[in-house]
Amino acid sequence: MKFLGLSPAFPPLLRRYALIMAAMVLASYLFTVGMTWLLHWPHPFGWVWIGGDLQWCDFHAFQERSQHFRTPTYWMEYDYPMTYPAAIAVVFALFYKLPHPLKLYLTILIVAFLTYAVWLARGLTKRGIPWDQALGFGLVVILTAWPVFYQWDTANIEGLMGIVLFCGIIAVLRGWSWTGTSLLALAGAMKLFPAIMLALLFSKRRYKECAFGVVLMAIINYGSLAILGPNIHFAETQIRDGFRFLRNNFITPRWSFQMNFSHALYMPIKFIVLGLDRLIRYGGHHGPSCHEIALVDTTLTIYMVSMALLGLFLYFWRIRKLPMLNQVTALTVCAVTFTPFSSDYVLNHMLLPLGLLCFYATEAWRDRRTVPGLEFSFACLCIILGFTTFFTTYYPFGNSLRCVALCALLVAVLRYPFYWSPFDSIDQTGQDFAPIQKS
């Protein structure tokens, strides 16, 4: 039982987390068995555990295009347009220049997740937890996390960017500002939303590094466009066409398969707007499709502007004044929730706040301190990272629960400061927290 961290010497909060996550995996498996092998229900009920033809599909989506890298035929119409920033397009092309690119990438993912388990175990061991129990807990964390499973199944390139972002945040927290800035800029060039983590440098008053990160991100982006060719303007136009494809096929349609795996706040808002419009204008019946398309498109524009303003307001009003543990958690939640489309593998970014909260909870337990909001935060993480396929017969409901849990976690970390001496200093009043300044 030590493998699950059930020894009395193990923090009860972490023990409960491990048991709940394991129970959710078991419930998901039994649900799948019942729906597919006993009741013979069709897809999507059997997909989660039984697999299918779409396994590792995200990595293969750009295979044909990448084989024409740096040739005039790269931007021709293939099975799938390039829906990522230019830096990711270059990464894909480099992978397909190597032998066995998929096997190589899957190996990188395995090593990364095992490294995370070891990192978590080392952190707990330094805080007095026996090594075998700490490692067992780390393995339970990655084996019971739904986004880890989904990342493996889709082989989405998000995993590589997540590794870079994880290392960048750790570097910033440890005071290696320039190294952290470079990694955050690289992650932000690969996908835009990681750029929000540059706000950590602003909070630490590392204004030069923060500005350098923005400039470096732009250099990497335009440098990647130049590499893709034939010139920056043409490549940028093609990338924008890919983003337009993503918007028209994944985000704005009233219904699409991809919405089953998006926990973005925009998804429930879109359905609420459509539902109210249908109820008010057409008495609950379907309206003209052209009207719904226009309504959703307008809603998306308003949503993106509103989320940008809300993010800025939250940061300058509250987030930047909080301890660094709160800032990392809050900014990560905003990054994975405020975007209009955020697939479940993006939730792997929540593993870093989870690990830091585990360290913090262990120290609080060891010092016999009760921290308001900590147990609630772990309860939210159980829903965010857990297998929730058994909550309903259709996935969107499970992702709506994840969205609610993410918003609840954001409220919790905004409300309850988690002061942590390794990262924060406290002023003489004992009320305001400031990041420790390191060179």
What distance in Å separates the CA atoms of residue 54 and residue 47, rounded to the nearest whole number? Answer: 9
By C-alpha distance, which of 234, 170, 242 is closest to 181?
A: 170
By C-alpha distance, which of 404, 429, 406, 433 is closest to 417?
A: 433
By C-alpha distance, which of 47, 45, 156 is closest to 106?
A: 156
Question: What ranges do the domains of the chain cover?
Answer: 2-425
What distance in Å separates the CA atoms of residue 91 and residue 160, rounded to the nearest whole number? Answer: 10
**What is the model's pLDDT at position 293?**
77
What distance in Å separates the CA atoms of residue 392 and residue 65, rounded to the nearest whole number? Answer: 38
Question: In which region does residue 432 sit, left (phi positive, over 0), alpha (psi from -120 to 50) or beta (all else)?
Answer: beta
What distance in Å separates the CA atoms of residue 300 and residue 216, rounded to the nearest whole number? Answer: 29
List the chain pLDDT tens, one digit each, 439 residues: 454 445 567 899 999 999 999 999 998 888 877 777 777 766 555 555 655 556 777 888 888 888 889 888 899 887 788 889 999 999 999 999 999 999 999 999 999 999 999 999 999 999 999 999 999 999 999 999 999 998 988 889 999 999 999 999 999 999 999 999 999 999 999 998 899 999 999 999 999 999 999 999 999 999 999 999 899 999 999 999 988 888 888 887 766 556 667 888 988 888 888 778 777 777 666 666 677 778 888 888 999 999 999 999 999 999 999 999 999 999 999 999 999 888 889 999 999 999 999 999 999 999 999 999 999 999 999 999 998 776 655 555 667 888 999 999 999 999 999 999 888 875 433 445 666 665 4
Q: Judging by DSSP bridges, how do beta strands 433-435 and 424-426 pair with one another? A: antiparallel
State which H helix or E strand residue 404 sits in: helix 395-415
**What is the model's pLDDT at position 258?**
60
Which single residue is written with the structure tokens 């930047």?
320
Which single residue is written with the structure tokens 């033809």?
53
**What is the model's pLDDT at position 52?**
58
Question: In which region does residue 405 sit, left (phi positive, over 0), alpha (psi from -120 to 50) or beta (all else)?
Answer: alpha
What distance in Å separates the CA atoms of residue 65 and residue 73, rounded to the nearest whole number? Answer: 8
What distance in Å separates the CA atoms of residue 399 and residue 392, rounded to the nearest whole number? Answer: 10
> Would the pTM count as exceeding 0.85?
yes
By C-alpha distance, which of 85, 323, 324, 306 is closest to 197?
A: 324
CB 158 within 8 A of CB 297: no
**Opening angle at CA 400, ends 394 and 401, nearest 5:** 100
Terminal CA-to-CA distance of the chain, rounded, Å?
44
**What is the model's pLDDT at position 390?**
66
Segments in 318-389 forming alpha helices (H): 324-337, 351-366, 374-385
Distances (CA, A) of 163 to 4, 168, 224, 351: 26, 9, 20, 11
By C-alpha distance, which of 143, 141, 125, 144 is closest to 133?
A: 125
What distance in Å separates the CA atoms of residue 209 and residue 206, rounded to the nearest whole number? Answer: 5
What distance in Å separates the CA atoms of residue 387 and residue 271, rounded to the nearest whole number? Answer: 23
